[in-house]
Structure formats: C-alpha cells, structure tokens
Structure 1
Amino acid sequence: MFENFIIVGTQRTGSTALYQALNCHPDIACGGEWTQNIPWYKKIRVARQALRGNFTGLTARNQNLIRKVFHEQTRWLGFKMLFRSSDKWLLHPRFAPALQLDQLEPCLKWIGEQPNMHVIHVVRRDAVEWLKSKYLASATGHFTIQQYPDDLKVNIPVRGAVKRLQAKNWIDNRLASLARNHPYYRVDYEEFLVSNESRLMSITEFLQCDAALVKPIDDGVQKKQSTGEAADYIKNYDELVTALQRLDLLHSPLCPSSHIK
C-alpha cells in the first residue's frame, strides 16, 4: 500500500509547476488533475481507486502522465484536485454551479474520512496577478508552459473579478479547514516562485522523504507564462486595483503561511 497525499487549491495557482517538481523525488509519484473531465458522480470513486494504484478510471492523458513517474520504488502517491473560482453565483459562492460539478463539499468530506492523507494546499495571494493569469489563459487558451505574447492586453470586468475573488477566498478558507485534522502544508505561490528548490525540499521533508534525493528541477517547467507586470497586460488596471483596494480584496485573507505544517 502507498501513503497518500493530495494537492488542493483553486485554478491558476501554480499547481502544475508544484506537482511536476514533486516528481523530481524518486519516492514520490504525483499525478495531475485526475478528477478533471470526470463526471461529477464518479470523481471520488475514480480518485480513491487511483490512489490505490488502479489508474484505469483516469483519462488516457492522466494515465500516461502518472505511469511515467510511477514505479516500484514509489512510496507516496498523490494528485492535485482544483476547484473553480466562478463568478456565476448568487447569494454565496457555495451555490456556484461550478462548485457543485467540482464536488467541493463531498471531496472535503472524503478527505476528512482519511486522517492520514497529507494535504498540500497551494495558494496564490496576489489577487491582481491571479486575475491576470486567469484572463490571459482564457484569452490565449494557454494554461501551462506556453508564454503569453508581450503585447497582449485584456479588460477584466470589475464586477466579475470581485465575485471570482470572493469565491476564491471562500474556497481557500474551506480548504484550509483541513489543517484541523490532517497533516497539512501550505505553499504560497509567490514564495514557491522565488525559492522553488528550497520549498520543494521542505515539502519532501513534510512527506517524510529524504530531501537529499531531490533531482534538479527542469527550468522550463518553472518558467512564468508572463514576463511583465499586471499593469502591462490589464487595460483597466487602475480601475481594477482601486475597486479591489476599496473592498480589501488585493490580497488573500489567509495569513502568510510561514510554511504552515
């Protein structure tokens, strides 16, 4: 049997770079977003089977990805489960149809039933940079690796941005509640970007693995998709920042992690 971990967070938080970095350790096999494109009523069953080493319920792409890093030496087997910060909700973010399809609450209940499951929670704290990433990815269709054109400009609707951030903050708080009963490690994207190798070593120690066995991280995996600042890409940057500042939404309300474990 394997020891299991799960990477949780919202979309566009650097989880791809994190899970690929974890695969630089020989004792760790980390899959991608296994439950994406799986019907809502199958998500937990497929995840449960895959964490036992049965990958047949995954999409062909995810099967290929995990089999490249899964081997006899694997001690820790995990994957990432992300939740959408939609602006399509009324009254409260919990009622967003996207979260019903993502099965946020059933997934939290499932994780809660496994007290030995190690939780790695990745959070992006800079709201404007997060919004920039979401809207640039949507505009280009480039969600990983490929860099955005330097001359690309997007307009970010303020009302939609506010609702997305309110949803993101609520989701992150729900995910952070897993720290009460689980081994829990929070990764702030901004810190990981600056010191990914030291953060990776710290996470492998959290998983009780020998950090000295970590292989060098591929520079291409860790490269940012944008080269400029948010103001370089967002047409209504000043309007957006003013509105978010007024509502105290410029930064995640979760306190700085200090590498919470």
Structure 2
Amino acid sequence: MVKNFIIVGTQRTGSTALYHALNFHPDIACGGEWTQSIPWYKKIRIAQQALRGDFSGLTPRNQERIGKVFHEQTQWLGFKMLFRSSDKWFFHPRLAPALKLDQLENCLSWIRQHAHMHVIHIVRRDAVDWLKSKYLASTTGLFTIEHYPEDLKVKIPLHEAVKRLRAKNWIDHRLATLAQKNPYHQIHYEDFLKCNEEMILSVVQFLQCDTTRTEPIEYGLQQKQSTGEASDYIANYDELVSELERLNLLYSPLNSSYHVQ
C-alpha cells in the first residue's frame, strides 16, 4: 500500500527544490502544488483523491508531472501545500482572506485526521532574505531556477513587510502544531541550501526509505536565484533591517529543527 506525505510551508521557502530532489529517489513520488489552482471548496477533496493515486482532478500540467515519477513500485506519494503570507489582514493574520482561500485551518484538521500522513515542514528563517526573494520574484515573475537580474533593485515597504512577516511566523507556528498528531520533520531552508544532500537524506530517512538509493540531484535545483547578498537587491536595505531588528523580526522564532514520530 502506498503511504502518503505532505510538504507544508509558506511561499518562497525552497519547497520546489525540495520536491524535485525527493523525486530523485525511486521509492518516492512527489507532486507540486496540486491544490494551488483548485477552487477553495475543492482543495481537500482533490488532494485526497490524488493521494489515492487518482490524478484526474489535477491540472493537466500536474498530471503530467506526477505521471513521470509515480509507478507501481512507488512506496511514498505526496505533494506540497503552501500558504500565502499576505499583508492584507486586520487585527490578526488568521483573518487574512488569502488564508481563507488557502483553507489553512481546514487543511490542518484534515492532516490531523490522517495520523499516518507524514509532514515535512520547510521553514525559511532569515526574514530579510525571504522578503528579498518574495519581492524579486513578484517583480520579475521568476519563481524557480532562473537567476534574477544582477542590477535589479526593489524597495520594500516597511509596513507591508512587517505584516507579511508576522503572517509568515504565525502560519509556521500553526503548521508546527501538526507535530502533536502526525509524524513530523522540520527542515530549514538555510540548512537545505548549505547541506543539500544531507537535508535530503534526512527526509529520506524520515520516510524510512533506503538512503543509498538516492540519486544525484540536478545542479540547478541546488542554486539560489539571487547571485548576490540581500543588500545588493534591496534599495532600502538598512532601513528595513533597522525596523525588523527593532521589532525582533529578523529571524523566524522557529529556530530549531526537530523530528517527531
């Protein structure tokens, strides 16, 4: 019987590189954001259906991608589900319309109801680097693999940045509560970037697969889209860092990896 896992996190945390890397193991088939383009009221139903091996409810592109890696010998089938860190909220991030559409709380309840579903939570801790990635991707429309123009500069609105970060941190804390009910493994984007193979092996071990069968990962999947430092791309870098430092938001409070089974 095929077992299931799910990669969770917020956007711009390296989840694309992670899911592609997992597909280099012959026992693992990992899909992308299966529910991203699905109407909110269908997200969980389509996800359940796909995790049973029926991919008919997915977009043609997602069907094609999972069809290339899913086979009769597949032991683990999963996908990634990301949640938006919107600045469009009042009083509390949980009230953001984006999270209602993403079905965050309903997804958490659904995952908890499936106690054997393994959860891989990827967290990006460096707030400035995350904001840089968020705004560069939005400005250029480049969301994976391709490098950002080296001469590009973005000015990040401080109030908007603070609200996005507070939403991100709250979402990550909500996702971390899955450790109470499900086998849970947390990895950090920064560690994944520095020790790519080591982090992938930790996930393979978490899924109880043979680590010796992990194939080499394509070079491009291990590289950041930016070639310089955050200060090279952010026009108001000093002002941004000063404000985040004042509010104690420079780093995610989820500051230690842990693994619960």
TM over 0.5: yes
Matching residue of 2:79: 79
Deviations 1:143-172 (A, max 9, x none): 001110000000000000000000000000
1:217 Cα deviation after fit: 0.5
For 2:58 and 2:236, locate their aligned partners in 1 and report how far apart those are by CA, in whole Å: 41
Show the 5 A alignment for 1:152-191: 152-191=152-191
The residue type paired with residue 206 of structure 2 is F
Show the 5 A alignment for 1:1-261: 1-257=1-257, 259-261=258-260
For 2:101 and 2:210, locate their aligned partners in 1 and report how far apart those are by CA, in whole Å: 38
1:256 Cα deviation after fit: 1.9
Gaps of 5+ in 1: none
For 2:213 and 2:189, locate their aligned partners in 1 and report how far apart those are by CA, in whole Å: 23
Q: CA RMSD of the aligned region, Å?
A: 0.7
1:2 Cα deviation after fit: 1.1
For 1:168 and 1:198, locate their aligned partners in 2 and report how far apart those are by CA, in whole Å: 26
Equivalent pair of 2:125/2:255 in contact (CA under 8 Å): no
For 2:259 and 2:246, locate their aligned partners in 1 and report how far apart those are by CA, in whole Å: 29
1:111 Cα deviation after fit: 0.3
For 1:193 and 1:223, locate their aligned partners in 2 and report how far apart those are by CA, in whole Å: 8
TM-score computed with the length of structure 2 as normaliser: 0.99
For 2:255 and 2:152, locate their aligned partners in 1 and report how far apart those are by CA, in whole Å: 33
1:202 Cα deviation after fit: 1.3
Query: Where do 4+ consecutive residues of structure 1 move more than 3 Å?
Result: none
Gaps of 5+ in 2: none
1:260 Cα deviation after fit: 2.9
- Percent identity over the alignment? 70
The residue type paired with residue 64 of structure 1 is E
Aligned residues: 260
Deviations 1:162-195 (A, max 9, x none): 0000000000000000001111000100000011
For 1:133 and 1:170, locate their aligned partners in 2 and report how far apart those are by CA, in whole Å: 19
Deviates more, 1:7-16 or 1:196-205: 196-205
For 1:43 and 1:108, locate their aligned partners in 2 and report how far apart those are by CA, in whole Å: 13
For 2:259 and 2:84, locate their aligned partners in 1 and report how far apart those are by CA, in whole Å: 24
Equivalent pair of 2:119/2:185 in contact (CA under 8 Å): yes
1:127 Cα deviation after fit: 0.1
1:255 Cα deviation after fit: 2.3
